[in-house]
Amino acid sequence: MNIIQVHPTGWGFCERGGGRTFTPWGCNYYDPFTGWSPRLWEQFDAGRVSDHFGHIRSIGGNAIRVFSTVMNLMDGPGKVSAAGLAKMERMLTLAGEHGLRVIWSGPSLWEGAPPWWHEFATYECYARPDLIAAQQVAWRGIAHAMRGHPALLAYELHNEPFAPWRATPAVREAWTHWRAQFAPGAPIDFPAPAEPLCWDWSADLQRFREHIASSYVRHMVATIRECDDTHLVTIGLHQKSAPFDWYPPDPYAAFNPHQLADLVDYTSVHFYPHHIFHPNLYLDPGATAQGMEETLLHGRAVVRYMHTAGKPVVLEECGWYGGGSVMFANREQPARTEADQTEWCRGLVEATRGDVCGWLFWPYRDTPSSLDSSKRSGFFDAEGRLKDWGRVFAALAPEITSAIPVRKPGTCSLPLSWKKLVTDPEHIKSFRAAYLAAFQRGETVDFALS
């Protein structure tokens, strides 16, 4: 097992020194029996984790993505926990013994937030200097410990980041500095949108939020590179990082992959069906053939938008449920069969074969205590029985992992007005209609950014 690098062509991955190609094919991992949200590190059991890794490898998986947590990793804002790092290193060793490579997702709050980690508003950690400094401390500890380890595939800075938009003191201060340097004609008062988030997103606010995102990524990458220049760095982008995938009352994520491309080694993105949150925009892929087709084409649009020349794109979190009903968005969702789950997951792979060069599904195994689709989204059910999707995943593995998927060149360039998309939700509707029509004509859509 050798360290993985971006392939010299700029698409896909290979072992360092021009060795064998590597196509990530696996899942997001946590122990499914430690509660919800999972307390993987709080209840870390090396023997059980090793068994789970054996299951993943037995069906052809070669990569996993694992969340680190602030509670496990830090003893305070300026100190990394030696015990927490030891658990992470132990897991990395176990993964390598099973032939799995690990993407470490940056310190999250899945196991709760310590008293010193207090945000005045959600996502303030991307703008507040003291919390940025604490995250840098965490990354120095991780990168120093993991440097050169062949089982580490990549560092992922954070999971599904959104730039802040609420007017906390730190955000207001950042706005004042940004405005003075980049937009002196912008309003002096921070242009926070009204609550609940509706229609009044200004271009100045969105540009500022993208600046916050880029600054955060730049700081984290530089910190990692101080200690480790041997491994890849990425960030786990929400699909709402595409400016056509948000809609009020949800915000645009403002982590712009095209602004971040020069800072990271490859682009990671997540995609799930969104009909539950926006039935006025999306059809249910499990209800009709049209819903399935359109949702898969939405997925293609998101991942193709993410591409920048020379940067591989990995669909590192995706999937859907099967084998019963689940709770999602605080209500019970329709029961889906295991065949339904397989249809969606296999369909997404087939739809994006020419658009990405790796897939990691959510999660490894059905999670009985989950309060979302994780309850029935695994390769295995809660008792450890291999589900229909797990069997299909295993059957696809040899072909998927044998070579780098070939990227399809675009046959259609669709103009994309960033300013309209990030400020005018009605324009989002017409833009989506345009790319759906192009895909349905058989075009392979690229986006001309403006």
Dist CA 239 CA 243 (whole Å): 9
pLDDT confidence of residue 199 = 81
pLDDT class of 92 with cuts at 50, 70, 90:
very high
Among 138, 204, 124, CA closest to 171: 124
Among 173, 157, 240, CA closest to 206: 240
Neighbour-count burial for 72-102, b at 16+ CB within 10 Å, e otherwise: bbbeebeebbeebbebbeebbebbbebebbb
Average pLDDT over residues 434-445: 98
Per-residue pLDDT of 6-61, as tens digits, reads 999 999 999 998 789 999 999 999 999 999 999 999 999 999 999 999 999 999 99
pLDDT class of 221 with cuts at 50, 70, 90:
very high
Percent of the chain exceeding pLDDT 90 equals 93
Task: Name the 3-class secondary structure at 86.
Answer: helix
pLDDT at residue 330 tops 90: no
**Which residues, 6+ apart, have CB-to-CB distance to 72 below 8 Å?**
41, 42, 81, 84, 87, 88, 111
Residue for token pair 């947590």: 69
Dist CA 15 CA 7 (whole Å): 8
Instruction: Count Cβ atoms below 10 Å from residue 177 Cβ, excluding itself.
Output: 10
Report all structural domains of the chain as residue ranges with CATH numbers, in order of start: 4-410 (3.20.20.80)
Low-confidence winner among 82-96, 193-207, 405-419 (lowest mean pLDDT): 193-207
Neighbour-count burial for 406-419, b at 16+ CB within 10 Å, e otherwise: ebeeeeeebebebe
Average pLDDT over residues 60-64: 98
Chain centroid to CA 69: 16
Euclidean distance between the first and the last CA atom of the chain, given in angstroms as a whole number: 43
Average pLDDT over residues 256-261: 98
Low-confidence winner among 35-44, 89-98, 195-204 (lowest mean pLDDT): 195-204
Dist CA 307 CA 149 (whole Å): 28
Tokens of 31: 């122990």
**Which residues, 6+ apart, have CB-to-CB distance to 24 below 8 Å?**
13, 62, 63, 101, 103, 153, 314, 316, 357, 358, 359, 360
The alpha-helical segments, DSSP class H, found in 154-233 are 169-182, 203-227
Backbone angles phi, psi at 159, to 5 degrees: -95, 120
pLDDT confidence of residue 276 = 87
pLDDT confidence of residue 78 = 96
Chain centroid to CA 371: 20
Low-confidence winner among 63-67, 281-285, 385-389, 401-405 (lowest mean pLDDT): 281-285
